[in-house]
Structure 1
Amino acid sequence: MASKVDPQNIRKTFGRFRVLIMGRANAGKTTILQKVCITTENPEIYNAKGHKVRTIFHTTRGNHDITNELVFKSNPGFVFHDSCGFEAGSEEEFNDMKKFISERVNATKLEERIHAIW
C-alpha cells in the first residue's frame, strides 16, 4: 500500500510541483500560467537536463519541446511543460505527448513525475 502524502508537507515531499498544460497552439496557455504565477514575465526555459535553453519564450508553433521545463522566476516551485498544441493532426506531436506522459507517470523520482495535467 502506498504511503499517503501529508497535504501540509506536499512542497517538502515533491520539491517542485510539475504540471503539463495542454491546449491548442496560441490558445493563451502562457497567459494563464502568468496569471497563476502572478507575473507578466515570460518563463525561463530549461532542457530535460536542467540547462537553460533560453529566456525568451517563443509562442509560435514549433519553437518549443514538451520535455523543456518552463519556470517563472516569480514562482520557481512550479515547473510547467507545454503540450505544443497538436490540433493540426500531427500524429508525431500526439505520439510525443503520449510518450512524455508515460515516461513521467512512471518516473521513479517523485520530483520528475507529472503531478497534474491541465
Structure 2
Amino acid sequence: MIRLDPAEVKKHFDRIGHFRILVLGRSNAGKTTLLQRVCNTTELLEIFNAKGEKIDHVTMQGSLERGYHNIEDEMIFRSNPGFIFHDSRGFETGSVKELNLMKDFVEAILYSM
C-alpha cells in the first residue's frame, strides 16, 4: 500500500481545490446511496446547474425518478465540499447518445484544466 505524506496531499489539494468524480451506472442503480456511504453521510446531495444556481430537490424529484440527470450538474454534500460529483445519467443498453454525452463532458473538463 502506498502512503502519501499528508503535507504533500494538502499541497496538491490546495492547488486543485476539489475533486470531480463522474459516477457511472444504470438509472436507479443506487449511485447516490453509494456516494452517501463513501462520504459517510445520510444528507441529500445539493445539486447546482452550470450557472451555479441551486436546483430544488422537489423540482427535480420526477426527473430523478425517471433516471434523468444533467451530467453537467454538480452534486455536492455539504459535509464533503472537496468532492463534486457528476451523474452519468445512467447507461441503458444501446444508448449511444448517452455514451457520447458522457464522452463530450469528460473531454470538456479535461481540456478546461
- TM superposition score category, shorter chain reference: 0.7 to 0.9
Could you report, residue by residue, the CA deviation over 1:53-109 in whole angstroms, capped at 9, with x for unpaired residues?
Answer: 22456442343100000001111111000001122322221111111011111113x
- Give the total of aligned pairs: 103
Pair 1:106-2:103 in alignment:
no
Aligned position for 2:85: 80
Q: Percent identity?
A: 50
Could you tell me which of 44, 47, 70 is aligned with 2:46? Answer: 44
Contact 1:38 1:74 in 2 (8 A): no
Could you tell me which of 20, 31, 49 is aligned with 2:22? Answer: 20
Q: Which has the larger radius of gyration?
A: 2
Contact 2:28 2:67 in 1 (8 A): no
What is the TM-score when the length of structure 2 is the normalising length? Answer: 0.80
Which amino acid in 2 is paired with 1:72? F
TM-aligned CA deviation for residue 46 of structure 1: 0.3
What CA distance in whole angstroms lies between the structure 2 residues aligned with 1:33 and 1:45?
14
Could you tell me which of 94, 97, 100 is aligned with 1:95? Answer: 100
Pair 1:31-2:56 in alignment:
no
Structure 1: stretches of 5+ with no match in the other structure: 1-5, 109-118
Which amino acid in 1 is paired with 2:89? C
Could you tell me which of 66, 72, 92 is aligned with 1:67? Answer: 72
* Compared CA separation, residues 55 and 75, structure 1 to 2 (3 A): farther
Question: Over the residues paired in the alignment, what is the CA RMSD in angstroms?
Answer: 1.7
Structure 2: stretches of 5+ with no match in the other structure: 1-7
What is the TM-score when the length of structure 1 is the normalising length? Answer: 0.77
